[in-house]
């Protein structure tokens, strides 16, 4: 994952850019970068895997200078890149994922293009984007060429002589919005970047929209397209509680998710809780609807630990997961606990750390309630790096069927016997008393966007809303 921030200011702006970019730290943990345009272009890129963005770049900022700049937090490519092109010098940063990266690279190499940057996965995706941009007759046509050629999703910021060009990916999977403060502008992936820095949101870019932001204001260069497939996971998991997208707040959506879970539940519990951080809102919603207390059965030791799905290796993720969460015995002991979690991806951390800690703290029963349906497909739009065989659902299917894909349509049908057995297998694996997943229709209703404007690929294998997959749920008991 990654997050973007850009600033256009009448005064020197490195500090605003530093803090604005830092507010995207929940979206990545590996690399950070800033590029400024003042009397000249300059850029800095640092490894942020061992220290926060703020910490890594704080020492650079006093020596940096410029009234326009872009910043990025990234888990894959080193960026922003400074590109010398036939349109002039510019800096480029992107968020998203280019699924056909290898194929495009090969095609451009055949055309005589040269790549100088590299990443862990081959060619640097930002440089690949730059080569595609340069195939257009100007920046805007170049960005349209990117949209035309890439499979996946890419939103981007270009820092040019004329201002910052902001482009949201073609189907609006990733957010991008503009804020204004006394004729200064910030463009960011996350609305929370604007809030504490005094910028008022003035425009959310639509799918495929391209906007130029400079000292004269902002100007739409390409209108938004009508089709949208915004990532549902932004509300369920990845978004920050105070953030909002398309006018819909993250925390409110999470509370509605939790309430939906409670409305369909039959279990009797003494308390509801959430796995922090993103499970908290779901848990609060559950408690309010069920009329039982919300209690902090689990707390996170925040300093120094990020989100455990972000570190690239399982060993690192396990280490973070083990260290960061603590169960509170005086809350948990002897209690029947409903535990809301945003989702179950691999299930390993839930089984080995979260649930085990609750049992060790004396829980009487643990009723796990994920806020979304079972994850059946890895995201192919850059929101995570997990593979098919990492998903606990697919491991369940492999265990039950001998391979990862057999009878898949049956397992996707939430009312089928196969689906019930898969959920039962997962309940057993994560070692909970009961496991009841959210229904797809309930999750979409809780988010509050029309189904055909949301991406739900990771649950259905189809790009939006409802499919012919039935949207039911099932509960299993694990004694
Ligand atoms: S596949 Fe899932 S994580 Fe990826 S964009 Fe779609 S909803 Fe979001």
- Identify the CATH number of the domain in which residue 207 sits: 3.60.20.10
> Which pLDDT score is estimated for 114?
80
Cβ(231) to ligand 1 under 6 A?
yes
> Is 179 in the same domain as 243?
no
Cβ(383) to ligand 1 under 6 A?
yes
> Is 208 in the same domain as 251?
no
> Which pLDDT score is estimated for 112?
84
133 C-alpha to center of ligand 1: Å?
25
Distance CA 465, CA 454 (A): 6
Is the backbone peptide bond immediately before 79 cis, with ω within 30 degrees of 0?
no
87 C-alpha to center of ligand 1: Å?
34
> Which pLDDT score is estimated for 186?
98
Q: How confident is the model at residue 304 (pLDDT cuts 50, 70, 90)?
A: low
Of 228, 258, 292, the domain-final residue: 228
439 C-alpha to center of ligand 1: Å?
16
> Is 117 in the same domain as 259?
no
Helices 250-263 and 440-447, packing angle to 10 deg: 140
Nearest-CA residue for ligand 1 atom 4 is: 379
pLDDT in tens, 71-110: 999 988 899 999 999 999 999 999 988 888 889 999 888 8
pLDDT in tens, 347-364: 988 988 899 999 999 999
Distance CA 398, CA 443 (A): 27
Model pTM?
0.90
Cβ(369) to ligand 1 under 6 A?
no
Greater confidence, 302 or 9? Answer: 9
Which residues fall within 8 angstroms of residue 70, CB to CB, at 6 or more apart?
Answer: 4, 5, 6, 7, 17, 34, 35, 80, 91, 93, 157, 158, 159, 164
419 C-alpha to center of ligand 1: Å?
21
Give the residue ranges of DSSP H helices in 150-277: 192-195, 233, 250-263
379 C-alpha to center of ligand 1: Å?
5
What CATH number has the domain bearing residue 425? 3.40.50.2020
Cβ(455) to ligand 1 under 6 A?
yes
Cβ(97) to ligand 1 under 6 A?
no
Average pLDDT, the chain: 91
Nearest-CA residue for ligand 1 atom 2 is: 458
> Is 113 in the same domain as 247?
no
221 C-alpha to center of ligand 1: Å?
28
pLDDT in tens, 393-424: 999 999 999 999 999 999 999 999 999 999 99
> Is 424 in the same domain as 371?
yes
Residue ranges making up the domain that contains 353: 234-477
> Is 261 in the same domain as 196?
no
> Is 223 in the same domain as 241?
no
Atom of ligand 1 nearest to the CA of 377: 1
> Which pLDDT score is estimated for 473?
40
Cβ(232) to ligand 1 under 6 A?
yes
> Is 173 in the same domain as 258?
no
Q: Which of 400, 385, 393, 315 is nearest to 349 (CA)?
A: 315
Q: Which residues pair with 291 in a beta bridge?
A: none
Of 179, 203, 228, the domain-final residue: 228
Cβ(458) to ligand 1 under 6 A?
yes
> Is 79 in the same domain as 133?
yes
Q: Angle CA(476)–CA(477)–CA(479) in degrees, nearest 5?
A: 155
233 C-alpha to center of ligand 1: Å?
6
Nearest-CA residue for ligand 1 atom 1 is: 379
Distance CA 367, CA 371 (A): 13
Distance CA 2, CA 154 (A): 11
Distance CA 279, CA 283 (A): 6
Q: Indicate the Cα dihedral angle 260, 261, 262, 265, nearest 10°.
A: 130
> Is 260 in the same domain as 213?
no
Of 161, 193, 228, the domain-final residue: 228
> Is 168 in the same domain as 59?
yes
Q: How confident is the model at residue 471 (pLDDT cuts 50, 70, 90)?
A: very low
Ligand 1 pocket test target in 151, 231, 309 with most atoms within 8 Å of CB: 231
> Is 412 in the same domain as 464?
yes
Distance CA 163, CA 363 (A): 57
> Which pLDDT score is estimated for 9?
97
Number of domains in the chain: 2
């Amino acid at each position: 994952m990654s997050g973007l921030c850009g600033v256009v200011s009448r005064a020197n702006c490195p500090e605003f850019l530093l803090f604005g970019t830092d507010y995207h730290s929940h979206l990545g943990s590996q690399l950070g970068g800033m590029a400024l345009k003042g009397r000249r272009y300059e850029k800095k890129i640092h490894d942020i895997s061992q220290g926060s963005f703020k910490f890594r770049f704080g020492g650079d900022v006093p020596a940096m200078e410029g009234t326009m700049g872009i910043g990025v937090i990234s888990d894959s490519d080193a960026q922003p890149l400074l590109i010398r092109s036939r349109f002039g010098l510019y800096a480029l940063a992107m968020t998203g994922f280019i699924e056909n990266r290898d194929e495009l690279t090969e095609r451009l190499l055949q055309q005589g293009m040269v790549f100088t940057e590299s990443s862990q996965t081959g060619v640097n995706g930002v440089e690949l984007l730059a080569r595609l941009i340069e195939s257009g007759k100007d920046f805007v046509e170049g960005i349209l060429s990117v949209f035309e050629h890439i499979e996946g999703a890419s939103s981007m910021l270009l820092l040019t002589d004329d201002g910052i060009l902001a482009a949201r990916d073609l189907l609006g999977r990733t957010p991008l919005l503009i804020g204004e403060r006394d004729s200064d502008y910030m463009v960011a992936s996350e609305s929370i970047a604007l809030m504490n820095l005094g910028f008022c949101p003035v425009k959310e870019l639509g799918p495929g929209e391209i906007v130029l932001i400079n000292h004269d204001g902002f100007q739409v260069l390409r209108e938004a397209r009508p089709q949208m497939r915004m990532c549902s996971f932004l509300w369920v998991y990845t978004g920050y509680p105070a953030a909002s997208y398309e006018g819909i707040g993250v925390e409110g959506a999470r509370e509605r998710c939790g309430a939906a879970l409670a409305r369909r539940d039959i279990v009797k519990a003494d308390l509801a809780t959430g796995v922090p951080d993103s499970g908290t809102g779901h848990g609060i919603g559950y408690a309010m609807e069920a009329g039982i207390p919300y209690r902090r059965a689990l707390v996170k030791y925040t300093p120094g630990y990020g989100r455990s799905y972000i570190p690239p290796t399982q060993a690192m993720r396990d280490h973070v997961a083990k260290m960061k969460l603590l169960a509170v015995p005086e809350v948990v002991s002897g209690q029947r606990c409903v535990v809301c979690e945003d989702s179950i991806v691999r299930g390993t951390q839930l089984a080995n750390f979260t649930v085990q800690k609750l049992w060790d703290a004396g829980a009487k029963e643990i009723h796990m309630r994920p806020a979304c349906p079972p994850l059946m497909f890895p995201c192919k739009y850059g929101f995570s790096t997990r593979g098919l065989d990492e998903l606990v659902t697919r491991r369940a299917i492999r265990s039950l069927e001998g391979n990862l894909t057999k009878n898949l349509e049956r397992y996707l049908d939430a009312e089928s016997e196969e689906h019930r057995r898969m959920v039962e297998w997962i309940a057993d694996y994560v070692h909970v008393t009961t496991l009841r997943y959210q229904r797809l229709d309930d999750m979409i209703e809780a988010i509050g966007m029309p189904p055909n404007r949301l991406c739900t690929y990771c649950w259905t294998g189809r790009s939006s809303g409802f499919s012919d997959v039935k949207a039911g749920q099932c509960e299993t008991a694990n004694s």
